[in-house]
Every structure is written in C-alpha cells, then in structure tokens.
Amino acid sequence: MKNVAVIGAGTMGNGIAHTFAQSGFKVSLIDVNNEALTKGLQTITTNLDRMLAKEKITQTDKASTLSNIETFTNLAEGISQSDLIVEAATENLELKLKIFKNIDEACLDSAILATNTSSISITQIAAVTAKPERVIGMHFMNPVPIMKLVEIIRGYNTSDHVTKRIMALSRTLGKEPVEVNDYPGFVANRILMPMLNESIETLYNGVAGVYEIDTVMKLGMAHPMGPLQLADFIGLDVCLSILNVMYDGFKNPKYAPCPLLVNMVRAGKLGVKSGEGFYDYSESKKAEKIAKQFVKA
C-alpha cells in the first residue's frame, strides 16, 4: 500500500494527508475547492515549520513530505491509482453517501475505502458501495500529526482482512489503533460528547461560568483542556451534529443537545473557526489573554 487519497482539505483532511506523506506515502489531496487545497497545503507547511523549529524533523523531512503530496479537484483523477482512499469531508450523511457512491465507481477494485467520520454509521455508508466488505472507519484525532489514537471502526460487513490491514497500516504511521464496533458515536464520542453537552448544560443552568467550569475540569480531573474550550476547538456545529446522530441512533434523551448549544450554532457562534464560541477569538489580544489564563490555570 503506497498510494493514498484523502478527500477533503479541511482541518482533518490536511492533517491526515500530512501524516501519510510524512510517513513516506504518495498522497493525493482532493477537494472541489482550489482555495481549500491552497489553504490545506499552507497549513501543512506551517505545521512542518513548527516541527522543524522544535527539531522534531529536518529540512529534508519537510521537503520530502511536501513532495509526497499532489492536489486534485477531480475526484476520479485523484483516486485512480490509490490503494487506500480516506474520506474526510464534513460530518454530513448525505454528502458522505454521495462521495462514496462516486468513489465506488472510480476507484481500483482492490482499493480500501475509509471514512474519517466521528459518528456516522460505517454500515450505512458502506451500503451504497458494491463491496461493503472493503469499507472501514478510520477516526483520527485532531491535531492528526500529533494525536496517537485512531479508532478503527468495523462496519457490519467489513472483512477481517481489511481490518487487519488498516490496523497494521495505522501502526506504520506511528499511531495506536483501537478496534471498535459500529454504533452511534463509536467509543470516543459516545463518552466525550455527553461530557461536553453536560458542561454546556452546567453553564446553561447558571451553576458556574465558562472559565470556572473549564478550570474545575482541568485542575480537578487533570484534563489538558477544559470541556468548553475543547468544544470550541472541535467546532460547536460538529458537536451538535454528533449529538444529533447519537440521539437519533439511540433515541435516548441523555444524548439530546443542550438548547444553549443549539442556539449558539444557529447564531453562527461555532468556536475557533468562526472567531467566537464560549470564548472570543476575534481579536489577537483577547485570544492571547485567554491562552495566558489557561497557562496559569
């Protein structure tokens, strides 16, 4: 397995492309938007420069990683020679189903099809393909080049052969793969999202403020980042989407998203990506002040 295609040049997509390219794979980074591809490559370059400054890689490593990445706006062209295709588009079921139908029509018969979904059913995605046994979940954590965990999610029809290959491949990337089964939220988000949602409920009910809630969880529970800051980092729209998938999947009210989260997303307060969420990131001085508060905490 030498050629990898990554569909989607956003935060997760460019991180996945970076990780494979740094490990010596030839990567096709695909997005319908040229601007997104340019931004994705800029992000990869910036992250490599940070690693270079910390002496974690050499200038040769940086140049080699970048040379391993080729960009495409045409899906069929980008995946035509790929042994593995990793979809990392927005967490939207209809979009993912459309992408997988298109992948299935254009990819090699031997290609493994993976999705980076954090909550959507692998079985449902695989059902739109001709060979559901070759479809699997590879849920990377953000930031991808740094975080070790990869949730490997088996759909109902995913073969043992494909699972073993992807587990082994993840280890070659320096990751720690963990095999889980296909239920809403898998393991990571089934546990994480209710905690984030309960933190938002705690704020909504007036128990404590944003900084106080985050400080309690950081100092009392040894979390490296407070839950509300983490929700901002993930994206409040993404949190809402995952909670809705879990609520729809289990029909259990404990997964129902907090009204405050719903309203914030409706208002466009999505966290870091929009410049404001539970914290205000719109001005560098404010962002710097927030960062200093967390360092002190």
CATH for the stretch 3-181: 3.40.50.720
**Would the annotation count 96 as a binding residue?**
yes
Peptide bond into 143 cis (omega under 30): yes
In sequence order, the β-bridge partners of residue 6 are 29, 86
The model's pLDDT over 75-85, given as tens digits with 9 standing for 90+, comes to: 999 999 999 99
Kindly state the tokens that stand for 101. Answer: 């139908």
Angle at 125 between CA 85 and CA 196, to 5 degrees: 95
The tokens 């997964």 sit on which residue? 255
* Domain segments of the chain as ranges: 3-181, 190-292
Of 146, 76, 142, which Cα lies nearest the Cα of 108? 76
142 labeled binding residue: yes
User: Does 39 score more than 50 pLDDT?
Assistant: yes
The CA-based diameter of the chain, rounded to the nearest angstrom, is 56
Positive or negative, the Cα torsion across 73, 79, 82, 84?
A: positive
Per-residue confidence (pLDDT) for residue 286, from 0 to 100: 52
Residue 277 annotated as lining a ligand binding site? no
User: Element (H or E) spanning 20, and its range?
Assistant: helix 11-22
Summarised one tens digit per residue, pLDDT across range 41-76 is 999 999 999 999 999 999 999 999 999 999 999 999
* Fold adopted by 190-292: N-(1-d-carboxylethyl)-l-norvaline Dehydrogenase; domain 2 (1.10.1040)
Instruction: Write out the catalytic residue numbers.
Output: 118, 139, 151, 189
Q: Is the pLDDT of residue 94 over 80?
A: yes
Query: Does the annotation list 226 as a binding residue?
Result: no
Which helix (H) or strand (E) covers residue 139, if one does? strand 135-140
**Does the structure show a pLDDT above 50 at 260?**
yes
